[in-house]
Structure 1
Amino acid sequence: MSRLSLTVPLHSDETLTSYCSRTAAANGLPSATVFATHLGFSFRRLANGNPADVNTFGEAVGLQYDNLRHALIVRDNMQLTIAGESVPQMHLQRQRLRFCPHCILEDETTRAGRSRARAYARLNWSVTFIRTCPIHRTKLVTSDKTSFNAVHDFVVRLQWERPKMAAHLLNSKAQETTKFEAYIADRLVGRASGLELLDEMPLYAAAQMTEWVGAAAIHGPRFKLEDITAEQWHEAGKEGFEIMSHGEAGFRSFLEPLCTNYSTGQGSVGPRAVFGRIYSTLKTRQNDPAYDRVREIVREVAVDRLPYGPGDDVFGPISSRKWHTFITAARAHQLTCAQVQTLFRAQGLLPRSSRDRQTRILVDAQEAEKLLADTKDSVSSAEARRILNVSAIHFWQIVKGGYLRPLLAIKKGGNCGAVPFFTRMELERFRDDLRKRITVQEASPWLAPIERASRKAHRPTKDVIGLLLEGKLKTVACSGSEHGYAALLVDPAEIRRKIQRKKRDTDRMTAGAIARELNAKTGTVAALVDHVISVRLR
């Protein structure tokens, strides 16, 4: 094919369809389609980057395929490629003319050549992520008119807009170019930005994630796509780029507060509720590997900051757990929420005040799992007393003395009631300790159980228990008619010798002091005193 004698220059930021359309206008033809037919190629296939049609057109204008490559838009089904960057069809405006009226005016007044062939379509104008002319700092205009005729023919479509061009210039809206738009423009011409995460993703995925993150940051995580206007998308891109340009750290800094809000929120706690539109949109694109890394980050943050574990799904089943709430712990261990909540409170994992919102307080999973595993092999204080065969008074003296260690901390001013907080292993250890205290095999008649021996010796019970459990009594036997703690027999005389009575400054004592001294009830002492007085008065 012979080269055309009349051609126009191809600009570095021009689309190939614009170049073909202008060449047709320079040669006096009414449309690019008619021009292509004359030269033996298809303008529609040229618009889709078909190599054969590109080469035919290139021969006509004297340019090799490599010289035209930067201006190509190549179609592959619903995906388009510009300068090696993949862009979905929905983000490339080809049905309507998109342009800057100020650039058109400058082209036509400053460039040489036939008037209809001077203005050209910039590659950036086709990409919907770019909404601003960086030269004139104005919002790009999108034509109202669309037609299947002359779909890619820039000159023809610009001709349709000429009657409105004065109005377009008059109504032009000032708008600053954002760093996000500059980033998209750089990638379209192959300029590297050196941004972690975004550069690792295809252009369309990087751009969409940036806008989604910005929209969520401005309008909340549950924003609706259909409610966001073009102006709001412009601001979303600006805001999102401030976050995403910092790479994985920036994206995590956006996600983590959403997890923090979980502890004070209400309603569902699933990933859709926590991460909102970001999660649901990534979920619908589950089969697109372009979003794999951002999905991994969302998953990592969710597991690190939320009570998710086996049985939960965040872009796939979760196999490990870092946090529990008392609800998730109850579900995992098949306990009631009230049981787990009581255990967590007793262990100090939850505040004791019922006024606090506790359903979303996070508890370390390892600590919770150990507590609940130990609790399954534990008994209540009442059951522990029965197993050890010890009275309540002696039992709590033993616990408070540190001789029997509870699984859960004892509340100040009282015990833990029926909360299971003594492990069977600990009870068995204590029983072994009791058996080790036995020093004689035959029980002498003057030996007595600990409680009775304490009364006979007129010594405080807690001191007697201390002597016994610390191995300081030489004479300790075991009764054959009892078991456990109640079976132990001690010598009251030895106890008197071991525990010296405190010297008193006066011979007078209160009824309470006498009761403590005799290990008796105050009422009993008072009745005894009344009886003695009445006898003396007779």
Structure 2
Amino acid sequence: MTKLSLTLPFQSNETLPSYCSRIAAVNGIESASEFSAHFGFRFDRLVKGGHAEIDVFAELVGKMPIQLHRGQLSQHGKTVVIQESIFTREFIDTDRCRVCPACVLRDIGPQFSFHRAYGRTEWMLRFVHTCPDHKIPLVTFGGGRKNFGDFATQIRAIIEELKTHASKPRLNIPIRLQDYVINRMRGSKTQGGWLDDFPLQAAAHFAELLGAVVRDGSEPDLESYTSDDWIEVAEIGFGIAKMGEPAVRAALQEFLESNPMSRRVRASMFLGRLHAELLERHDQPGYLELGKFLEDVVRERHPNLVSDLPA
């Protein structure tokens, strides 16, 4: 297959579906699906990480398939693997268009060159709430299943809304957990310390939950949290966790002061939602280890603890 005469650079933090979408746009084709059909592969399969589709697309843009792997979204049921990190769909949104409006408008420029705007990997993650460059909230747009993953087509349809959202005031608040997540995704140096010992989703989720129980007690109403709440508790939890395991243990001690009447002591009696959320996800990478850590903390104070974790 002959390489296309019109191609674009693949950005370092760009998703592969976004790159394919931009290649379609720069070649004057209406959608990524139409583009892929013309060249004998399926865009919906490339979106999910299909190797055969990636091989064909790589040849079209004059690259080796391995050069595209950093933006590949390997989607299998309820999990998505990207850049060697595993996320459940609870924490990553691959279907809707979630963007920083200011980044998109900067990318496309005054001539509205839609092929220049690209979808950043970190925009898909629930742990990332604001743009690290512009300090404004990320915005999520819906859209039909027909165009999911087709970034250039999606932003073309919402350009007027993007202009409105891009003018929102900057948020001058610390966002250290999301910076940590982005740096780990990019392979950059982090300041997570102890958190680096755990898979990224488990580490970031634990920091959020830790901040939630420290701020709101052992039974926080997580379902009522707004984006601002998650940003605040993430900052609290990360501030503790980055100081290391001793700091986390110290923060949990205040929850262990009561003496339960029952002889069968369980971690959930003291740590409530923090322990329950980890237990619920014990089969996901890193959660079982963090659950065991919590039970070890409780066991030091209450040696008769009964574990709820699978053996």
Shared fold per TM-score greater than 0.5: yes
Pairing partner for 2:136 from 138, 144, 149: 138
Q: Deviations over 1:426-479 (max 9, x none)?
A: xxxxxxxxxxxxxxxxxxxxxxxxxxxxxxxxxxxxxxxxxxxxxxxxxxxxxx
Give 1:37 deviation, angstroms.
Answer: 0.6
Does the aligned pair in 2 maintain the 1:41–1:53 contact within 8 Å? yes
Alignment of 1:369-380 (within 5 A): none
Q: Deviations over 1:27-67 (max 9, x none)?
A: 11110000011111111111111221111101001111122
User: Structure 1 pair 176/134, CA: closer, same or farther in 2 (3 Å)?
Assistant: farther
Larger Rg: 1
Is residue 2:284 matched to residue 1:291? no
Partner of 1:84: 84
The letter for the 1-side match of 2:204 is A
Does the aligned pair in 2 maintain the 1:178–1:238 contact within 8 Å? yes
The letter for the 2-side match of 1:119 is A
Partner of 2:27: 27
Q: Deviations over 1:317-363 (max 9, x none)?
A: 9xxxxxxxxxxxxxxxxxxxxxxxxxxxxxxxxxxxxxxxxxxxxxx
Is residue 2:246 matched to residue 1:221? no
The letter for the 1-side match of 2:272 is G
User: Structure 1 pair 188/155, CA: closer, same or farther in 2 (3 Å)?
Assistant: same
User: Structure 1 pair 93/175, CA: closer, same or farther in 2 (3 Å)?
Assistant: farther
Partner of 1:237: 234
What is the total number of aligned residue pairs between the two structures?
Answer: 310
Give 1:245 deviation, angstroms.
Answer: 1.3
The letter for the 1-side match of 2:307 is V
Partner of 2:243: 246
Is residue 2:276 matched to residue 1:280? yes
Percent sequence identity over matched residues?
A: 31
Aligned-residue CA RMSD (Å): 2.4
Give 1:2 deviation, angstroms.
Answer: 0.4
Does the aligned pair in 2 maintain the 1:223–1:277 contact within 8 Å? yes
- What TM-score do you get using the length of structure 1 for normalisation? 0.54
Does the aligned pair in 2 maintain the 1:132–1:175 contact within 8 Å? no
Partner of 2:300: 304
Pairing partner for 1:154 from 151, 156, 160: 151
Does the aligned pair in 2 maintain the 1:95–1:147 contact within 8 Å? no
- What TM-score do you get using the length of structure 2 for normalisation? 0.92
Alignment of 1:323-342 (within 5 A): none
Distance between the aligned counterparts of 2:216 and 2:261, measured in 1?
A: 19
Give 1:194 deviation, angstroms.
Answer: 6.6
Q: Deviations over 1:387-406 (max 9, x none)?
A: xxxxxxxxxxxxxxxxxxxx
Q: Secondary structure at the match of 1:149?
A: helix
Partner of 1:525: none
The letter for the 1-side match of 2:31 is S
Give 1:101 deviation, angstroms.
Answer: 1.1
Does the aligned pair in 2 maintain the 1:96–1:142 contact within 8 Å? yes
Does the aligned pair in 2 maintain the 1:133–1:177 contact within 8 Å? no
Q: Deviations over 1:61-99 (max 9, x none)?
A: 111112212111112332111111111122112222111
Distance between the aligned counterparts of 1:286 and 1:87, measured in 2?
A: 14
Give 1:19 deviation, angstroms.
Answer: 0.8
User: Structure 1 pair 238/316, CA: closer, same or farther in 2 (3 Å)?
Assistant: closer
The letter for the 1-side match of 2:308 is F
Distance between the aligned counterparts of 1:151 and 1:266, measured in 2?
A: 54
Q: Secondary structure at the match of 1:193?
A: coil
Q: Deviations over 1:111-144 (max 9, x none)?
A: xx9712111111111111111111111111112x
Distance between the aligned counterparts of 1:220 and 1:142, measured in 2?
A: 30
User: Structure 1 pair 76/95, CA: closer, same or farther in 2 (3 Å)?
Assistant: closer
Distance between the aligned counterparts of 1:170 and 1:117, measured in 2?
A: 22
Query: Which structure carries more relative contact order (alpha carbon 8 Å, separation 6+)?
Result: 2
Distance between the aligned counterparts of 2:60 and 2:309, measured in 1?
A: 55
User: Structure 1 pair 196/135, CA: closer, same or farther in 2 (3 Å)?
Assistant: closer
Does the aligned pair in 2 maintain the 1:210–1:240 contact within 8 Å? yes
Give 1:147 deviation, angstroms.
Answer: 2.0
Give 1:169 deviation, angstroms.
Answer: 2.0
Alignment of 1:198-217 (within 5 A): 198-217=195-214
Does the aligned pair in 2 maintain the 1:15–1:122 contact within 8 Å? yes
The letter for the 1-side match of 2:220 is F
Does the aligned pair in 1 maintain the 2:101–2:139 contact within 8 Å? yes
User: Structure 1 pair 283/178, CA: closer, same or farther in 2 (3 Å)?
Assistant: same
User: Structure 1 pair 37/316, CA: closer, same or farther in 2 (3 Å)?
Assistant: closer
Distance between the aligned counterparts of 2:20 and 2:32, measured in 1?
A: 6
The letter for the 1-side match of 2:294 is V
Distance between the aligned counterparts of 1:213 and 1:206, measured in 2?
A: 11
